[in-house]
Amino acid sequence: MNKLKFTRNIGIVAHIDAGKTTTTERILFYTGINHKIGEVHEGNTTMDWMIQEQERGITITSAATRCVWEYKKKKYYINIIDTPGHVDFTVEVERSLRILDGMVVLFSAVEGVEPQSETVWNQANKYKIPRIAYVNKMDRKGANFFNVCKDIKNKLNCNPIILQIPYFKNENFIGIIDLILNKYIIWEEKNFGMKYNIKNIPNKMKEITSKYRVKLLEKLAEYDDEILNKILRNKKIENNKILEIIKKETINMNLIPVLCGSSFKNKGVQMLLNYICLFLPSPLNSKKIIGKNLLTNKKCIIYPKRKSFFSSLVFKISSDKFVGKLVFIRVYSGMLKLGDYVYNIRTKKKEKISRMYQMHANKQIPINMIIAGDIFAAVGLKNIKTGDTLCSQENLIELEKIKFPNPVIGISIEPKNKIDLDKMCVALSRILEEDPTFKVKIDKNTSETIIYGMGELHLDIIIDRIQREYNIKLKKGIPKVEYKEKLKKKIKYREIYKKQTGGRGKYADILFTIGPNEKGEGLSFINKVKGGNIPKEFISSIKKGFKESMKIGPLLGYEVVSMEVILLDGTYHPVDSDTLSFEIAAKNGFKKSTIKTNPVLMEPIMKLEIICNNENMGNIVSDINKRRGIIKEILDINNNKLIKSLVPLSEMFGYVTNLRSLSSGRATSNMTFSHYKELSQDIMNKLINKNE
């Protein structure tokens, strides 16, 4: 329990190029895990270990590590997950946030709150994760700490509390003034900022320091009467009291502590580590973890106790060429020793834990035991998927699964050498295990293998991995949009399936209505059969048949997003009817009936945000309009324009290159999935005719 109190499971998240990996590298250096600082621009960072990450200078996969930080003579065990900033790899952020207790959100002191920052922030809100804001890159020209603080408050709709302010000398970022310590902190450059000095506040900074310390105390007084009374009576407020209230309200998600620094220049990271230990929750005071007791079918709270039944969640699977399949697991209760068995709720099978590792990026450190609050990797688990609950067989409690977005873009691939086809299939199956937002389909008309992902970069990385890791040369087609299909009209239909081949035959008869599901996505199946006209044991097979059929829609074979089926009546044969017959009847009924429901195609609409200068704005807006885009708003931001729009994905292939041309390389863009929208009749007809 004592170790749990000093454990922190945190993630470091931000928009691409805000300095996540650089900050993590400094943390590993200052905590003694690394003896040399890795740099993104040199391609030698610990956490960006993939070849593709080092070549491109971006984070692609979330990497986990563990370090120890000593603060006030107490050792804190910090599990860190460094996540990607590019929107195409949002799955890595999603699954990491699911198992974290707290997080650090980085913002560039120049760019402020960027689009992916907003996306990550909203994801963190969904999982109710307390967080600290760290304004990085204070050394950059144009850095404006207080503008970023306003941005955080206004764009993210939260309550930031400034704990530090930057100190500049001759326009150079020198150090920080800590408003809690009421001291000036300056780092020694000769030892990579390993040592720092705490000094009295320079005279020229005393007035602004006093102003922001008063603001700090006034904000805390909103949450604590004792502080309010001391302010009113002009009495001294102890630092311990200040720290206590900030921690409490940070964990309650009422306050967001804001710090500043320059990780690249080795300034501010040690203070960030101190405040991670002080303000972010341990597993003991983290959010409540809710599970479902499968024996009582009721919800229950899982407490992080070592002496309890084992309960854990699989949040990531990756392949390692030396140890095989690595399964990343967050433990919520109990303990596990090497050689113990775990029970998989999904497969209803026991599996033995043959090897356990503490992860350090792509390196594994063997361990013999883990306890509640730990994050570790296991080897030897066979039938496993992201989101699986692993627990004790004596206590069947299922944790909430992780939900992932559907892919929106596809591309056909085939090996240049036909003898590599089997190798390609093995590669695809392994990547499918690792990445829940990656899908593979065989085109029913062309027999092409089509891979689907979250964006062009996502698919580009996957193709690159297949070619490098499995030594396969691939031919790829042009990108394809992953459309969806939707039923528009409700109809009644009867399907009779009869087959007589000598001996026992096949028979099923179902009467149903089929049409759009107004309640939401997926299948809404309502059974209204009375009098035992269809035995209960066949009803689930009918539902299964309809659910399976939704994967291939009536127009072009795309997935049907939502559907309502009301089973009205039917008949069965006492000898010839079986579950398979009714499942086939449902599938046949779907194929014949849905074409009469006036089905339509739905296309993915993307949220596009562009930052450009005034000079290029007109050409960029005109280009968006030509692509069937809709301009939502145009804002002023740091002497530039922020253009927010909604655009069809089908019109956006290769857009980054086109934008570079329109803006002479000065504009930047960010595109994320927004929603699906019904295609106009003329565009839909062109697509259907093209595929006939």
Q: What integer pLDDT is reported at residue 45 of this predicted model?
A: 44
How far apart are the two ends of the chain, measured CA to CA in Å? 65
Specify whether 353 is located in the same domain as 447: no
Specify whether 492 is located in the same domain as 639: no
In a domain, 617, yes or no: yes
Q: Residue 550: name the closest of 524, 528, 527 by CA.
A: 524
- Spell out the residues 6+ positions from residue 578 whose beta carbon is closer than 8 angstroms to its own: 506, 538
Residue 618: other Cβ atoms inside 10 A: 11
Q: H/E element holding 662?
A: helix 655-662
Q: H/E element holding 211?
A: helix 206-221
Decide which of 244, 279, 314 is a domain's last residue: 279
pLDDT band of 89, cuts 50, 70, 90: low
Over 60: is that where the pLDDT of 34 sits? no
Specify whether 474 is located in the same domain as 490: no
Do residues 371 and 335 make contact, with C-beta atoms less than 8 angstroms apart?
yes
In a domain, 384, yes or no: yes
Decide which of 349, 366, 399 is a domain's last residue: 399
Task: Give me the DSSP letters along 67-135.
Answer: EEEEETTEEEEEEEEE---SGGGHHHHHHHHHH-SEEEEEEETTTBS-HHHHHHHHHHHHTT--EEEEE
CA–CA dist 457, 116 (Å, integer)? 15
Over 60: is that where the pLDDT of 669 sits? yes
Tokens of 507: 């028979």
Burial bucket for residue 404 (CB in 10 Å: 0-12, 13-18, 19+): middle
Distance of CA 264 to the CA centre of its chain: 26
CA–CA dist 53, 105 (Å, integer)? 21
In a domain, 186, yes or no: yes
pLDDT band of 176, cuts 50, 70, 90: very high
Distance of CA 485 to the CA centre of its chain: 26
Report which listed range, 3-7, 416-420, 565-569, 632-636, is most confident: 565-569
Specify whether 439 is located in the same domain as 585: no
22-31 pLDDT tens trace = 888 888 888 8
The residue among 491 and 400 whose pLDDT is bigger is 491
Question: How much is the mean pLDDT over the chain?
Answer: 86
In a domain, 120, yes or no: yes
Burial bucket for residue 388 (CB in 10 Å: 0-12, 13-18, 19+): buried
Report which listed range, 27-41, 375-389, 619-633, is most confident: 619-633
Q: What integer pLDDT is reported at residue 407 of this predicted model?
A: 82
Over 70: is that where the pLDDT of 37 sits? no
Ramachandran sector of residue 143 (left: φ over 0; alpha: ψ -120 to 50; beta: rest):
beta
Specify whether 310 is located in the same domain as 275: no
Longest CA span, the chain: 101
Over 60: is that where the pLDDT of 561 sits? yes
Task: Give me the DSSP letters along 363-405.
Answer: EEEE-SEEETT-EEEEE---S--TT-EEE-TTS-EEEPPPP-P
Over 80: is that where the pLDDT of 587 sits? yes
Torsion angle defined by CA atoms of residues 386, 391, 397 and 401, in that order, rounded to the nearest 10 degrees: -10
Q: What integer pLDDT is reported at residue 49 of this predicted model?
A: 38
Over 50: is that where the pLDDT of 39 sits? no
- Spell out the residues 6+ positions from residue 570 whose beta carbon is closer than 8 angstroms to its own: 508, 509, 510, 511, 529, 533, 534
Burial bucket for residue 447 (CB in 10 Å: 0-12, 13-18, 19+): exposed
pLDDT band of 54, cuts 50, 70, 90: very low
Give 175-181's long-range contacts (Cβ < 8 A, gap of 24+): 175/267, 176/259, 176/260, 176/261, 176/267, 176/268, 176/271, 177/201, 177/205, 177/209, 178/271, 179/209, 179/212, 179/213, 179/216, 180/216, 180/239, 180/242, 180/243, 180/246, 181/239
What does the pLDDT average to over 286-297? 87
Specify whether 132 is located in the same domain as 248: yes
Paired sense of beta strands 341-344 and 349-352, if any:
antiparallel
Q: Residue 380: name the closest of 357, 399, 360, 396 by CA.
A: 357
CATH number at residue 298: 2.40.30.10
pLDDT band of 665, cuts 50, 70, 90: confident
Do residues 346 and 132 make contact, with C-beta atoms less than 8 angstroms apart?
no
Over 90: is that where the pLDDT of 596 sits? yes
Specify whether 520 is located in the same domain as 498: yes
The residue among 43 and 424 whose pLDDT is bigger is 424
Sheet with 164-169: strands ordered across: 164-169, 172-178, 183-187, 196-199
CA–CA dist 430, 317 (Å, integer)? 9
pLDDT band of 245, cuts 50, 70, 90: very high
What does the pLDDT average to over 218-226? 94
Q: H/E element holding 409?
A: strand 409-415
The residue among 58 and 260 whose pLDDT is bigger is 260
Total tally of structural domains belonging to the chain: 5
Specify whether 444 is located in the same domain as 586: no
CATH number at residue 520: 3.30.230.10
Distance of CA 375 to the CA centre of its chain: 17
Q: Residue 459's domain spans which residues?
A: 412-481
Do residues 289 and 332 make contact, with C-beta atoms less than 8 angstroms apart?
yes
In a domain, 406, yes or no: no
CA–CA dist 430, 408 (Å, integer)? 21
410-442 pLDDT tens trace = 889 999 998 889 999 998 988 888 888 888 988
Over 60: is that where the pLDDT of 548 sits? yes
Using the structure block, give the residue that is written with the tokens 């970022």.
173
What does the pLDDT average to over 98-110? 90
CATH number at residue 273: 3.40.50.300
Specify whether 275 is located in the same domain as 316: no
CA–CA dist 366, 357 (Å, integer)? 4
Specify whether 391 is located in the same domain as 419: no
Residue 198: other Cβ atoms inside 10 A: 11
Specify whether 335 is located in the same domain as 430: no
Specify whether 463 is located in the same domain as 520: no
Do residues 95 and 315 make contact, with C-beta atoms less than 8 angstroms apart?
yes
Q: What integer pLDDT is reported at residue 526 of this predicted model?
A: 95
Tokens of 632: 């939502």
Q: What are phi and psi of 425, to 5 degrees?
A: -65, -40
Q: Residue 680: name the closest of 595, 623, 603 by CA.
A: 603
In a domain, 407, yes or no: no
In a domain, 284, yes or no: no
Q: What integer pLDDT is reported at residue 321 of this predicted model?
A: 67
Q: Which letter does DSSP use for residue 203 in this model?
A: G
CATH number at residue 659: 3.30.70.240
Q: Which letter does DSSP use for residue 434 in this model?
A: H
Q: What integer pLDDT is reported at residue 394 of this predicted model?
A: 86
Q: How many helices (H) and strands (E) does the chain have?
A: 17, 38
Decide which of 481, 500, 523 is a domain's last residue: 481
Q: Residue 601: name the closest of 691, 523, 672 by CA.
A: 691
Using the structure block, give the residue that is written with the tokens 């144009």.
142
Over 60: is that where the pLDDT of 229 sits? yes
Residue 328: other Cβ atoms inside 10 A: 23
In a domain, 361, yes or no: yes
- Percent of the chain at pLDDT exceeding 70: 92
CATH number at residue 440: 3.30.70.870
Q: What integer pLDDT is reported at residue 85 of this predicted model?
A: 44
Sheet with 506-515: strands ordered across: 491-499, 506-515, 562-571, 522-527
Do residues 516 and 490 make contact, with C-beta atoms less than 8 angstroms apart?
yes
What does the pLDDT average to over 530-551? 93
Q: What integer pLDDT is reported at residue 111 of this predicted model?
A: 86
Q: What integer pLDDT is reported at residue 58 of this predicted model?
A: 40
Distance of CA 184 to the CA centre of its chain: 38
Q: What integer pLDDT is reported at residue 12 of this predicted model?
A: 86
Do residues 479 and 409 make contact, with C-beta atoms less than 8 angstroms apart?
yes
- Percent of the chain at pLDDT exceeding 90: 45
Over 70: is that where the pLDDT of 200 sits? yes
Q: H/E element holding 196?
A: strand 196-199
